[in-house]
Structure 1
Amino acid sequence: MQTLPAPYAETLRYSPFLARLLDSRPWLAEHLAATLDSPIDREAMQAFLTDPPGPLPFDPDERLEASLRRLRARVLAHVALRDLAGRANLDEVTGTMTTLAEVALEAAHDHAFEHLIERHGRPLSSSGWEQELLVVGMGKLGGRELNVSSDIDLVFLYPEDGDTAGPKILSNFEFFERLGRRLIHLLSAPTADGFVFRVDMRLRPHGDSGPLVCSFDMLEDYLLTQGREWERYAWIKGRVLRGERWQELEALVRPFVFRKYLDYGAIEAMRALHAQIRHEVMRQDRLDDVKLGPGGIREIEFIAQVHQLIRGGRDPELQIRPTRQVLRRLAERGILPAETAAALDEAYVFLRRVEHRLQYWEDAQTHRLPRDENQRTLLAQAMGYPDWSAFARELERHRERVAAEFTHVFGHEEQSTTVAVPVLSAAVDELEHCLQERGFTRSAELARRLDAFRASPRTRALTAADRNRLEALLPRAIDIAAAHPKHDDVLERLLDLFEAIGRRSAYLSLLQEYPQALRRVAELVGAARQAATYLSRHPILLDELLDERHLDEEPDWPAFARELERLLDALEPDAERQMDLMREHHHAQAFRLLMRDLAGRLTVERLSDHLSALADTLLELSLRYVWRKLRRRHTDTPRFAVIAYGKLGSKELGYVSDLDLVYLFDDPHPDALETYTRTAQRLNTWLSTRTAAGILYEVDLRLRPDGEAGLPVTPLEGFHRYQREKAWTWEHQALTRARFCAGDPELGARFEAIRREILCLPREPAKLREEVLAMRQKMRDAHPSRPGLFHLKHDPGGLVDVEFLVQYLVLAHAHQHPELTANTGNIALLRCAAQMGLIDAALARQVADAYRELRRLQHRQRLDELPAVVPEGEAAALREPVLALWRQIFT
């Protein structure tokens, strides 16, 4: 008998099972000796099945059973020897065992299927389409992570009911049930050659009490009406191993597993599942179990998969199965710190290698560390350690690291509160007394507000679980609000938020699971009413409060564009989901800027720069995907440009600003006007349609040539002609703040050339002054002043006056000083005009400072959702230089 090469023969002391296996199968050592230096692949397994060694039974069923069991012995011995000799990494071991299962399942299925159709014919739907059995691998088989002595978890499904088309007709259900039972028998029945895999069917709908096979309709009904939280966890790894209609099945299961919103309720559900497992471990005294014990393999899997359940509905790239790949992707997205993900991955590899060495010992599905001293020593040596104590120290290091992270993710810290009354059931006078004791000024009014909140139809319709969450959150909210300087406003705004999210248990779960998030919410809504409104409209942004790194991160807009484009491409051709995704990312970026703004990390100018860059990015991507979805288009690259006017044009965009846009094209194709008109209409729809995720931007096209009477898109030459021959002075004023922001860069450059040409036209100063003053007076008449108050934008000496001053200077002097046509903002243009001697330099600086401060005051008012009006005295000093320059230029 041929012996194994020395490096492999020495490893047999770590596995009495392998030693017996080689002794009982004389052919095995010869096969192994020829192939041990490289992994065994699918082709080699299939070749082995076609010509297995040794005598085989005559009966076809028994012949296949013997072949499959010999293949299992061959593959298990091969992978075990390579692993124990240090020649195979974890991915090779688990991948090889998974491939073995797939090859065996395929062979068993095909054999059993052919036998059945000979007797009963092929299974057909009522419409005559042939049906198939879809074999779904669950658990480690689904994730291609199968261990060396594992059961395989399977679910059997078929698409549609019907009957077979043969002489002995069966319903499709009966046909596939017989097929499933035969397949299980071929794999798991013990024979003289052993077994291939033990098969576990308990993850099917209704478990052991349910039918062995289900139709798609039966599965969908079960998941919708009876699917439990732990089944979502199980189906994360569900993978179709055989069956062509796997995409239909994935589309059916995906909404059950991955929710469209951030699903923080998954933490509570998985915590409960883990508690059941831990209770069973404690009951059976199995704390030395490397899979189920503290800091074990299961805890790493739970950490990875709870993040998948929370975010997988929003991020399709988290809908993957292998645990190690999930950890890497979580690190890439910043959901787990890179060092934490690396430590969990290292622990996972270590624990899986321990698991395999425990199972190599006697080919048993065990995860318990040995008690026998000799076996302990051999286990340590098989892991590369000199003795048990050295191994045990390393094992403990990994388990402690895993357990600490598990506690960080799943630990449920009970929050104490000073509120003694049950907020959802206490009498109104009790609530008032409670609030009064904590220093609330409007305690009676807030007590009535709390009473109205708990009596509202939304609150009364809550499930018992959500009501319990709210019962726990309200006292904390009262405590947190009481500690804030604006305590009354904070509590009122928190109640508004709770009312908005009350029926979305995931958001209540987030605030309950992460007390720091509730504190951050209170800080934000106390700083600005707009933050409260933004969160109430887009509660999905609560997730942003968990990561304080956003406060220090400067946006990288090119990187943001690349990442968003990658995610949008992954959703093709689903326009609805793409629109939602763009809105979600827009809201998230704007909210991050809002948080930095409220933390004092951004000037008003810098904030507007970022909001404008965000809008430019989204306009560019929107145009790209709108164009791609046109059924009739004559070119791959549209000769189309988006021109921004107003606040976006001057890069002074605010959080809720509309976009003033003009669309231009230059294309000689006969269908160009029709195509680009349709593009403009669809782009408006893409931007301003309200979906479940809100809107991107409101769009105003009234600044286009001929206003509302004009076409939504204008030929470049027509735009040029209109500006030269028909445009009013106020339209040239608007042109001073216009810029190309998306589309064809060449067309954008040509627009800029036209813009400069128009702005540099010589104008008669007296007539220009008269027309600018007339337009300004028209605006003042539309916004009359109020005694004792100053409107930061419209009143004399306000923001509009500064804008008109700059626009007049550009139109009056650009023909001699073309530098004034640069769209660099009002402050820079004032400085430029002073350098050219057009206005007094000292006065220009004062006006620029006043303009900056007026914008800051306007921004402050907007953050608290107040009108842009302040007491007259607060802005008196700011108005003086503006009015002085106005008099100097216009009188």
Structure 2
Amino acid sequence: MTDKDLARARQYSLWLARQADNGLLDETWLLPRLARPLDADDFSGFADWQSPDESDLARSLRRLRRHVLAQVMVRDLGGAADLDEVCGTVTRLADFAVNAAERFAHAALAARYGEPYGHFSRAPQRLSVVAMGKAGGFELNVSSDIDLIFIYPENGETDGKRRIGNQEFFTKVGKKIIALLDDVTEDGQVFRVDMRLRPDGDSGALVCSEAALEQYLATQGREWERYAWCKARVVTPHANGLRDLVRPFVFRKYLDYNAYEAMRDLHRQIAAEAHKRGAENNIKIGTGGIREVEFVAQIFQMIRGGQNRALQLKGTRETLNCLAEHGILPEQTVAELSAAYRFLRDTEHRLQYWDDAQTQILPDAPVQRAALARSMGFADDEAFAQALDDHRQRVHAVFAEILDTPERRDDAAHALDGLWRGADDDGADTAAALRQAGYADVDDLAGRLRRLKAGSRYRRLSTHAQPRFDAVVPRLLEAAARCPQPERTAARLLDFLEAVSRRSAYLAFLRQYPAALAQLAQLMSQSAWLADYLQRHPILLDELLSAQLMAPLDWTALANELARQLAACEDTESMMDTLRHFQHAQTFRLAVQDLAGLYSVERISDELSQLADTVLAAALPEVWRRIAKIHRPDPQFAVIGYGKLGGKELGYASDLDLVYLYDDPHPEAAENYAKLARRLNTCLSGSTGAGTLYELDLRLRPNGESGFLVHSTAAFARYQRENAWTWEHQALSRARFVCGAADVAAQFDALRSEILTQNRDQTKLKQDIAQMRDKIAATHPPHGHDIKYARGGIIDVEFIVQYGILAHARAHPELLDNKGNIALLARMAQNGVLPAQSARAAAEAYRRYRQRQHAASLHDHAAIVVDDDLRRDYAAVCQLWAQVFDKK
């Protein structure tokens, strides 16, 4: 860029023209820097920042600001700079100026009073300057003020001859910083400084200690202050402990749907003020303006940021992109909001370029309107106004959809409003209203509503929660009435509502999203298991809003996302909670898709097994790196899955049968891997505030409950070769490597093949397996309704397959593949190991057994009934059993 670009930019800025005409711009500095973005060296090399003269510093800062603004303006108006460059350059200028002012102020006052020291830590103290709002989010506009808060670590006093307390010392530092930046001199102003976001605002102390800030946020912090602190960024080198102190206040541990009402209140206040000022031409606070885009981004940060740390961002556009990446907002919506935000911010800058004024109001003067349109790339004001209006309409449509009050409901819902208000009055009126809404058997439900309204749990609800509860009950009854068996559905929904009523955020969610409540009712109408699961994990309500709810699960992408979330965890508790949130969310997604008929029973078991594999693979390295004094960065350790996990036949409530192996000659290996196994068990089966992951069964390890928790591969091999019982080799036939070191996996696979292909006495093998089946029958009598233990049931099929592997894998190594019982029966039929017709019949029986089990657990099917179809399946398996084990 050249001086021609400078001349072109003048037509869009009276300010720039004045600076140039009055000789206030050093073109030898400015012109060479028009070709590139400014960097830190440009700021530091502009003047002698070490001068002890306060007036010199003030003058240099103002001259620097003038030249930076001119450089940004010319590059932006010439099309060389994008929005990120403009905002980033101005924000970095603010950071530089704040730091220069803080260094000077601290040094000047320390020379007079001595260095400040903490009373408890005895450590030297420095001021933390916190940038709020756009300064915190690297989004400063070119004529912006800067919102700052001054925090010092702790009370104490200085060590000089004229000692003063730290509060007084840092107050003096703060005042001097403000004067250096905010005072208007003959050289102008650096930045207007706004301190009103500090605790207690204008009436509060100019500076406060970290302890005072923590106390204030915990006891007096208001909802709007959470939004303010969301963008907070410490711009001085002395961050102290502010980040960890503020985070729990801004980002709640649970999904915080209370944020909707708080954001609505804040927006109403801003809109009322905008209306007073006739601000429809204000592109910041008017309808469809910059503030509405920011609100859309921040509402989801407030709701979900505590659960998803990826959302703990500062900038508006990066937050919007994150919302799209996580499926929280559709990509098209984010693209429209981002484009509108860029257009609005570009317009805002051009309004401010005109005369270096902090304004977002569209001009009335025709000359300025025409110049604004041309600077935005439009031929005339009419074309620009149309484009602006299109963007604002799209922004407001999204904003209204997200933040508007819930939709109106039909007359039946209004009748149910009256029903709930009068639930503790005449029972006849309640019953009549329920019948009108579509309920048939109303007496029990009417009684339940009366008891609920009169009960202590309802009456103890907070002043915030009770109105929400009152608003949700009629909607809940309306949603249940539209489901099959509405009385049962309503009972489950009321159970859920009572369970979550202590957390008003869940009530806010149900009130905000009628469509999600309707979907919740449909799910609970289909599955008692899912109703109970949601009652235990109500945080899963949020999944009902996910665009990914019905999409196929991409396990590679999910594993990568889980790894990113775990990398952000700073302690063991948050790591365990993250694993639980992930596992619960994917289990819920699978259950919803399963209820929609998207999976066969074999496929859903594969998916649930893959989920367990993903969780185990993520947990193992996280647990290892948290063990003190580990002897190697990556453990030579493997998790082996047995049983349903090994056979990839997990159900929703299955436990995990695990065995732990290692191969490591280091002298500390055994101790460290035993510690790893214990902590991994705790990580997987322990209960936290987020619930549990899995129940574990470790009894299939060598020597069972009396054996070591973890074994070397050599010891495991020796046991399998010399000491294992036949039933343990049966169990090994379903075992597989799940996660861990590849070398250990290879040793296990080789050993498994060796053991399963041993040359065996088939007569003795049959006797051992039959005897084990009799032992099981002694402890689990084979009743016909129990398809797992019944004669001809699941256990018999599994034992037949295990016999086939142990007896014939030597001759047919394809039987070693871990393909599940149905596929293995097909292979045994194909290669003649089993009678083909009987094997196929047993495989079909086994498939139907699993379908019945699945339907009884997930769906609301009755307990398994012994009907003719089930008897035929039992007979088919018994026939194959007799053929295999020579039973007449």
TM-score (norm 2): 0.95
The alpha-carbon distance between structure 1 residues 6 and 689, as it changes in their structure 2 partners (threshold 3 A), is same
Q: Measure, in 2, the Cα distance between the counterparts of 1:369 and 1:528.
A: 57
**Is contact 2:328–2:547 with CA below 8 Å preserved after alignment?**
no
The alpha-carbon distance between structure 1 residues 441 and 774, as it changes in their structure 2 partners (threshold 3 A), is farther
Summarize deviations over 1:393-443 as a string: whole Å, max 9, x none: 111111111111111211223332141425266226243443344343542
Name the residue aligned to 1:818: 813
**Is contact 2:424–2:454 with CA below 8 Å preserved after alignment?**
no
Structure 1: which amino acid aligns with 2:472?
L
Structure 1: which amino acid aligns with 2:144?
S
Q: What's the CA shift for 1:455? A: 4.5
Name the residue aligned to 1:841: 836
Q: What's the CA shift for 1:135? A: 0.8
Alignment match of 2:175 (pick from 176, 181, 186): 181
Summarize deviations over 1:537-583 as a string: whole Å, max 9, x none: 111111111135432x22222222222112212224x1211111011
Q: Measure, in 2, the Cα distance between the counterparts of 1:241 and 1:577.
A: 28
Q: Measure, in 2, the Cα distance between the counterparts of 1:743 and 1:243.
A: 41
Structure 2: which amino acid aligns with 1:37?
A
Name the residue aligned to 2:780: 783
**Is contact 2:5–2:74 with CA below 8 Å preserved after alignment?**
no
Structure 2: which amino acid aligns with 1:583?
R
**Is contact 2:327–2:547 with CA below 8 Å preserved after alignment?**
no
Alignment match of 1:234 (pick from 228, 240, 244): 228
Q: Measure, in 2, the Cα distance between the counterparts of 1:438 and 1:297.
A: 44
Q: Measure, in 2, the Cα distance between the counterparts of 1:492 and 1:660.
A: 36
Name the residue aligned to 2:487: 488
Matched residue of 2:280: which SS?
A: coil
Larger mean CA deviation between 423-432 and 593-602 belongs to 423-432
Name the residue aligned to 1:382: 375
Name the residue aligned to 1:324: 317
Larger mean CA deviation between 198-207 and 122-131 belongs to 122-131
Q: Measure, in 1, the Cα distance between the counterparts of 2:514 and 2:93.
A: 47
Q: Does 1:139 align with 2:133?
A: yes
Matched residue of 1:114: which SS?
A: helix
Structure 1: which amino acid aligns with 2:396?
A
Alignment match of 1:859 (pick from 849, 854, 861): 854
Q: What's the CA shift for 1:707? A: 0.9
Q: Does 1:565 align with 2:563?
A: yes
Q: Does 1:426 align with 2:423?
A: yes
Name the residue aligned to 1:55: none
**Is contact 1:4–1:32 with CA below 8 Å preserved after alignment?**
no
Matched residue of 1:287: which SS?
A: helix
The alpha-carbon distance between structure 1 residues 41 and 718, as it changes in their structure 2 partners (threshold 3 A), is closer
Alignment of 1:751-830 (within 5 A): 751-785=748-782, 790-830=785-825
**Is contact 1:604–1:859 with CA below 8 Å preserved after alignment?**
yes
Larger mean CA deviation between 326-335 and 663-672 belongs to 663-672
Alignment match of 2:874 (pick from 867, 879, 885): 879
**Is contact 2:12–2:372 with CA below 8 Å preserved after alignment?**
yes
Alignment of 1:139-158 (within 5 A): 139-158=133-152
**Is contact 2:423–2:449 with CA below 8 Å preserved after alignment?**
no
Name the residue aligned to 2:472: 473
Name the residue aligned to 2:629: 632
Alignment match of 2:329 (pick from 333, 336, 343): 336
Q: Measure, in 1, the Cα distance between the counterparts of 2:634 and 2:162.
A: 61
Q: Measure, in 2, the Cα distance between the counterparts of 1:145 and 1:219.
A: 25
Summarize deviations over 1:279-309 as a string: whole Å, max 9, x none: 1111211101011111111111111111111
Alignment match of 2:8 (pick from 10, 16, 26): 10
Q: What's the CA shift for 1:130? A: 1.1
Name the residue aligned to 1:606: 603
Q: Measure, in 1, the Cα distance between the counterparts of 2:77 and 2:662.
A: 68
Structure 2: which amino acid aligns with 1:66?
R
**Is contact 1:422–1:471 with CA below 8 Å preserved after alignment?**
no
The alpha-carbon distance between structure 1 residues 732 and 187, as it changes in their structure 2 partners (threshold 3 A), is same
Q: Measure, in 1, the Cα distance between the counterparts of 2:779 and 2:408.
A: 54
Sequence identity percentage: 50
Matched residue of 1:500: which SS?
A: helix
**Is contact 1:295–1:399 with CA below 8 Å preserved after alignment?**
yes
The alpha-carbon distance between structure 1 residues 432 and 782, as it changes in their structure 2 partners (threshold 3 A), is farther
**Is contact 1:641–1:748 with CA below 8 Å preserved after alignment?**
yes
Matched residue of 1:641: which SS?
A: strand
Q: What's the CA shift for 1:343? A: 1.6
Structure 2: which amino acid aligns with 1:25?
G
Name the residue aligned to 1:195: 189
Alignment match of 1:262 (pick from 255, 261, 266): 255
Structure 2: which amino acid aligns with 1:870?
V
The alpha-carbon distance between structure 1 residues 284 and 633, as it changes in their structure 2 partners (threshold 3 A), is closer
Q: Measure, in 2, the Cα distance between the counterparts of 1:423 and 1:594.
A: 32
Q: Does 1:119 align with 2:112?
A: yes
Matched residue of 1:790: which SS?
A: coil
Unaligned stretches of 5+ in structure 2? none
Alignment match of 1:653 (pick from 647, 650, 654): 650
Name the residue aligned to 2:510: 511
The alpha-carbon distance between structure 1 residues 419 and 849, as it changes in their structure 2 partners (threshold 3 A), is same
Q: Measure, in 1, the Cα distance between the counterparts of 2:284 and 2:250.
A: 24
Summarize deviations over 1:601-629 as a string: whole Å, max 9, x none: 01110011111111112212222122222
Alignment match of 1:680 (pick from 673, 677, 700): 677
**Is contact 2:154–2:209 with CA below 8 Å preserved after alignment?**
yes
Structure 2: which amino acid aligns with 1:105?
V
**Is contact 1:484–1:526 with CA below 8 Å preserved after alignment?**
yes
The alpha-carbon distance between structure 1 residues 524 and 26, as it changes in their structure 2 partners (threshold 3 A), is closer
Q: Does 1:167 align with 2:161?
A: yes
**Is contact 1:484–1:490 with CA below 8 Å preserved after alignment?**
yes
Q: What's the CA shift for 1:631? A: 1.9
The alpha-carbon distance between structure 1 residues 765 and 99, as it changes in their structure 2 partners (threshold 3 A), is closer
Alignment of 1:298-697 (within 5 A): 298-416=291-409, 417=413, 418-423=415-420, 426-427=423-424, 429=427, 430-551=429-550, 553-572=551-570, 574-697=571-694
Structure 1: which amino acid aligns with 2:513?
Y
Structure 2: which amino acid aligns with 1:333?
H
Q: Measure, in 2, the Cα distance between the counterparts of 1:29 and 1:677.
A: 71
Q: Measure, in 2, the Cα distance between the counterparts of 1:735 and 1:865.
A: 35
TM-score (norm 1): 0.95
Q: Does 1:282 align with 2:281?
A: no
Alignment match of 2:826 (pick from 795, 811, 831): 831
Matched residue of 2:131: which SS?
A: strand
**Is contact 2:127–2:238 with CA below 8 Å preserved after alignment?**
no
Name the residue aligned to 2:46: 48
Q: Measure, in 2, the Cα distance between the counterparts of 1:27 and 1:11.
A: 14
Q: Measure, in 2, the Cα distance between the counterparts of 1:6 and 1:754.
A: 79
The alpha-carbon distance between structure 1 residues 126 and 420, as it changes in their structure 2 partners (threshold 3 A), is closer
**Is contact 1:568–1:581 with CA below 8 Å preserved after alignment?**
yes
Q: Measure, in 1, the Cα distance between the counterparts of 2:33 and 2:830.
A: 83
**Is contact 1:665–1:715 with CA below 8 Å preserved after alignment?**
yes
Larger mean CA deviation between 386-395 and 165-174 belongs to 165-174
Unaligned stretches of 5+ in structure 1? 53-57
Summarize deviations over 1:78-102 as a string: whole Å, max 9, x none: 2222222222222222122112212
Matched residue of 1:170: which SS?
A: coil
Q: Measure, in 1, the Cα distance between the counterparts of 2:8 and 2:664.
A: 77
